[in-house]
Amino acid sequence: MNKKLVSAILCGAMVLGSVMPAAAAGVGEGQKLAMVVKSAGNAFMELAAGAFKETAEAEGATVEIVYPEAPTADAQIKVLDNLISQDFDAIAISANDVNALQAKLQEAMDAGIKVSSFDSAPNPDSRQIFVNQAGTVEVAQALMDAVLDITGGEGQWAILSATSQAANQNAWIDAMKTIMEEDDKYSKLELVEVAYGDDLPDKSTEQTAALLQNYPDLKVICAPTTVGIGAAAKYLQDNGAECKITGLGLPSEMKEYTGDDKACPYFYLWNMEGLGTLTAYTTMAMVAGDITGAAGDTYTAGELGDYEVVEAADGGTEVILGAPMEFNGENIEEWAEIF
Amino acid sequence: MKEKSLLKKITGSREALLVVILILLFAIVTALSPSFLTPKSLMEVLKNNSVTIIMALGMLCVMLVGGIDISIMSTAALSGMTIGMLLKYEKISNTLLAFVIAIAIGTLCGALIGLIISRADVPPIIATMGFMYIYRAMAYLVSNGGEWAGAATLGNYKDFANKSFLGVNSILWIMIVCYLFFFIFMKWTRTGRKIYAVGSNPNAAEVSGINVKNIKLLVYTMMGFLAGLGGAVHVAVYASAMPDLQQGGEMNVIAACVIGGVSMSGGRGTVLGALLGALILATITRALPLVGVSALWQNMIKGVLILVVVVVNVILQRIADNNALKGREM
- Express each pLDDT in A291-339 by its tens digit: 988 889 999 988 888 999 998 888 889 999 888 889 999 999 888 887 7
What does the alpha-carbon distance between residue B258 and residue B62 come to, in Å, rounded to a whole number?
12
In the stretch 30-69 of chain A, residues with CB closer than 8 A to chain B read 39, 41-43
Q: Give the chain A residue nearest B235 (alpha carbons).
A: A201
CA B125 to chain centre: 17
In the stretch 20-59 of chain B, residues with CB closer than 8 A to chain A read 33, 35-36, 41, 44, 48-49, 51
* Domain housing A150: 136-269
How confident is the model at residue A21, as a pLDDT? 46
| In a shared domain, residues A227 and A301 | no
Chain A residues near residue B148 by CB distance under 8 angstroms: 250, 252-253
- DSSP class of A328: E
Chain A residues near residue B162 by CB distance under 8 angstroms: 238
State the nearest Cα–Cα gap between B204 and chain A, in angstroms. 43
| In a shared domain, residues A153 and A258 | yes
Q: Which of A111-125, B111-125, B219-233 is predicted least confidently? A: A111-125
For B12-329, CATH gives 1.10.3470
pLDDT band at A22 (very low <50, low <70, confident <90, very high): very low
pTM: 0.79
**Is the pLDDT confidence value at B303 over 70?**
yes
**Which amino acid is present at B182?**
F
State the average pLDDT over residues A7-19: 54
| In a shared domain, residues A33 and A115 | yes
| In a shared domain, residues A47 and A98 | yes
State the average pLDDT over residues B89-102: 94
Mean pLDDT taken over chain A: 87
pLDDT band at A77 (very low <50, low <70, confident <90, very high): very high
In the stretch 76-135 of chain A, residues with CB closer than 8 A to chain B read none
A196 touches chain B (CB under 8 A): yes
* Cβ-contact A29, A59 below 8 angstroms: yes
* Cβ-contact A114, A91 below 8 angstroms: yes
A182 domain-assigned? yes
Chain B residues near residue A245 by CB distance under 8 angstroms: none
A336 domain-assigned? no
| In a shared domain, residues A141 and A248 | yes
Mean pLDDT taken over chain B: 89
How confident is the model at residue B3, as a pLDDT? 54
In the stretch 135-164 of chain A, residues with CB closer than 8 A to chain B read 164
In the stretch 89-148 of chain B, residues with CB closer than 8 A to chain A read 144-148
Establish, for the pair of chains A and B, how many residue pairs have beta carbons separated by less than 8 Å: 86
- Which three-class secondary structure state does DSSP give residue A98? coil
- The more confidently predicted of residues B227 and B261 is B227
Residue extents of the structural domains in chain B: 12-329
B155 touches chain A (CB under 8 A): no
- DSSP class of B136: H
**Is the pLDDT confidence value at A23 over 60?**
no
B242 touches chain A (CB under 8 A): yes
The domain that contains A49 carries what CATH number? 3.40.50.2300
Instruction: Mark yes or no for CB contact A256/B144 under 8 Å.
Output: no
| In a shared domain, residues A127 and A275 | yes
> Edge to edge, what strands does the sheet with A189-196 contain?
A189-196, A155-161, A220-223, A244-247
| In a shared domain, residues A31 and A176 | no
Total count of domains within chain A = 2
> Edge to edge, what strands does the sheet with A62-66 contain?
A62-66, A32-36, A90-93, A114-118, A129-132, A317-320, A310-311
**Is the pLDDT confidence value at B314 over 70?**
yes
* Cβ-contact A307, A80 below 8 angstroms: no
| In a shared domain, residues A64 and A118 | yes
Instruction: Mark yes or no for CB contact A254/B150 under 8 Å.
Output: yes
State the average pLDDT over residues A1-24: 53
